[in-house]
């Protein structure tokens, strides 16, 4: 009798556990198999903002023409082959009202063919289409938001349009709505059956750090997340992002991995604000940080120099490393910083950044063991990633004198000889 009682009790326990799990699972897994390496592509916001005046500025306004033009460039100018895959719409694409069935609708003047036709076009170029929504009453630009009531409908609408990525922003809502909504959208996207990369701006609205931000949960429900302020077209802005990532790396670094990445925001190389050297810094640190690489620039007029940086194969190889381990700031010696990322097969990428603005290149005398690269006792082959140059085979104590320009970077790629 006693045994039977125990059995009944365990069965009940098991049943309630199963019920609990069944309730929990839809919220606790973004089961789309996407982005085993950080996503790459192009996104409209930083460069094109909410420019909706197509009469005055037909080439640069937020319209299907803009996205088709960028898709053309990505397909024809070598971007797609290098992995730049997503063409992503940001804010200001919709009408200010939903349609009679409550669905979001694209502005018919700027998107006369509709989003589904745009997705078809982008797909015909071998690329993927991203779209933007905002968990709140309005988008940041004042367009209709996605409220808790419309999450499923909006997910279904995006899937019906065959969209491949959703950036879900967080203006005009509070923390409790976000705590429910971001998980709910994750499940709603899963429920569509279409693999849709899910980029969550949630942490950026909660200060980016625990206890407000739960990175374990984020990794389970989102593919990428913005944790800090918007990138602007300036060195100050890029530097402030790098500094925030360095300062908070013990929290941020373990959160990243295959399928789920920290997103320090768009690449602004090719725009107006960065020097050639500063553009290299952004690209090098974004590679070390295993960041998504979404360019926001004009691919129709981009300079050869900017293209060289963004299409540097070794930089992209480092960014896309399959180990998926985010790098860290390992040495600070003002105004120099050393950032290091572990790669597959015992390889490393090390960025030496000079934050100084005094105009003088700085020396950083070092060697592999000082960079804590010691596993392969016979030494390593060392390459300069931007100069595309083989610097030689180095023993662990061979002196390496790195000279770094002001607001510039040197990126070494280091391969074991063992």
The contact set with ligand GLA (CB under 6 A) reads: 45, 90-91, 139-141, 169, 201, 230
Concerning whether 230 is annotated as a catalytic residue, the answer is yes
Whole-number minimum distance, CB 170 to ligand GLA, in Å? 8
Whole-number minimum distance, CB 167 to ligand GLA, in Å? 7
Closer of 141 and 408 to ligand GLA (Cβ): 141
Closer of 209 and 415 to ligand GLA (Cβ): 209
Buried b (16+ CB within 10 A) or exposed e, 36-60: ebbbbbbbbbbbbebbbebeeeeeb
Concerning whether 384 is annotated as a catalytic residue, the answer is no
Choosing from 230, 233, 308, 384, the catalytic residue is 230
The rounded distance, in Å, linking the Cα atoms of 324 and 341 is 10
Choosing from 91, 134, 154, 169, the catalytic residue is 169
Closer of 64 and 169 to ligand GLA (Cβ): 169
Name the residue whose CB lies closest to ligand GLA: 140
Whole-number minimum distance, CB 166 to ligand GLA, in Å? 12
Closer of 131 and 140 to ligand GLA (Cβ): 140
Whole-number minimum distance, CB 18 to ligand GLA, in Å? 40
The rounded distance, in Å, linking the Cα atoms of 163 and 175 is 27
The three state secondary structure string of the chain is CHHHHHHHHHHHHHHHHHHHHHHHHHHCCCCCCCCCCCCEEEECHHHHCCCCCCCCCCCCCCCHHHHHHHHHHHHHCCHHHHCCCEEECCCCCECCCCCCCCCCCECCCCCCCHHHHHHHHHHHCCCEEEEEEEECCECCCCCECECHHHHHHHHHHHHHCCCCEEEEECCCCCHHHHHHHHHHHHHHHHHHCCCCEEEECHHHHHCCCCCCCCHHHHHHHCCEEECCCCCCCCHHHHHHHHHHHHHCHHHHHHHCECCEEEECCCECCCCCCCCHHHHHHHHHHHHHCCCCEEECCCCCCCCHHHHHHHCCHHHHHHHCCCCCCCCEEEEEECCEEEEEEECHHHCEEEEEEECCCCCCCEEEEECCHHHCCCCCCCCEEEEECCCCEEEEEECCCCCEEEEECCCEEEEEEEEECC
Q: Are 409 and 356 in contact (CB under 8 A)?
A: no
Whole-number minimum distance, CB 173 to ligand GLA, in Å? 13
Cis peptide bond N-terminal to 211, omega within 30: yes
Whole-number minimum distance, CB 147 to ligand GLA, in Å? 17
Whole-number minimum distance, CB 139 to ligand GLA, in Å? 6
Closer of 266 and 410 to ligand GLA (Cβ): 266
Q: Which residues contact 74 (CB under 8 A, 6 or more apart)?
A: 41, 42, 80, 84, 87, 125, 127, 299
Closer of 64 and 90 to ligand GLA (Cβ): 90
Closer of 90 and 154 to ligand GLA (Cβ): 90
Closer of 139 and 190 to ligand GLA (Cβ): 139
Residues carrying an active site annotation: 169, 230
């Amino acid at each position: 009798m006693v045994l039977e009682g125990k059995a009944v009790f365990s069965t009940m326990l098991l049943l309630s556990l199963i019920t609990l799990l069944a309730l929990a699972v839809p919220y606790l897994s973004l089961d789309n198999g996407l982005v085993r390496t950080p996503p790459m592509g192009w996104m409209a916001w930083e460069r094109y903002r909410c420019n909706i005046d197509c009469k005055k500025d037909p080439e640069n306004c937020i319209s299907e023409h803009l996205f088709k033009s960028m898709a053309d460039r990505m397909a024809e100018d070598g971007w797609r082959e290098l992995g730049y895959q997503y063409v992503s719409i940001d804010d200001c694409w919709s009408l200010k009202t939903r349609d009679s069935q409550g669905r979001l609708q694209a502005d018919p003047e700027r998107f006369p063919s509709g989003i589904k036709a745009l997705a078809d076009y982008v797909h015909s170029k071998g690329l993927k289409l991203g779209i933007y929504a905002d968990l709140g009453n309005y988008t940041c630009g004042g367009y209709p938001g996605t409220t808790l009531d419309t999450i499923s409908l909006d997910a279904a609408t995006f899937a019906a349009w065959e969209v491949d990525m959703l950036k879900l922003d967080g203006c005009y809502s509070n923390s409790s709505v976000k705590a429910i909504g971001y998980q709910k959208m994750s499940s709603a996207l899963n429920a569509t059956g279409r693999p849709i990369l899910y980029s969550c701006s949630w942490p950026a609205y909660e200060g980016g750090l625990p206890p407000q931000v739960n990175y374990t949960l984020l990794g389970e429900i989102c593919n990428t997340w913005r944790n800090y302020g918007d990138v602007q077209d300036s060195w100050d802005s890029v530097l402030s992002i790098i500094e925030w990532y360095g300062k908070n790396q013990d929290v941020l670094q373990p959160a990243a991995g295959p399928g789920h990445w920290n997103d320090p925001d768009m690449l602004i190389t090719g725009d107006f604000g960065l020097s050639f050297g500063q553009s290299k810094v952004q690209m090098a640190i974004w590679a070390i940080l295993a960041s998504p690489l979404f360019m926001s620039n004009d691919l129709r007029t981009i300079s050869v120099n900017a293209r060289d940086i963004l299409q540097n194969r070794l930089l992209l190889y480092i960014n896309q490393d399959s180990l998926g381990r985010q790098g860290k700031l390992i040495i600070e010696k003002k105004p120099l910083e050393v950032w290091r990322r572990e790669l597959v097969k015992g390889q490393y990428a090390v960025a030496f950044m000079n934050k100084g603005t005094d105009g003088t290149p700085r020396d950083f005398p070092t060697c592999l063991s000082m960079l804590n690269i010691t596993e392969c006792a016979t030494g390593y082959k060392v390459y300069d990633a931007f100069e595309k140059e083989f610097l030689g085979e180095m023993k662990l104590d061979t002196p390496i004198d790195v000279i770094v320009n002001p607001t510039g970077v040197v990126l070494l790629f280091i391969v074991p000889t063992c």
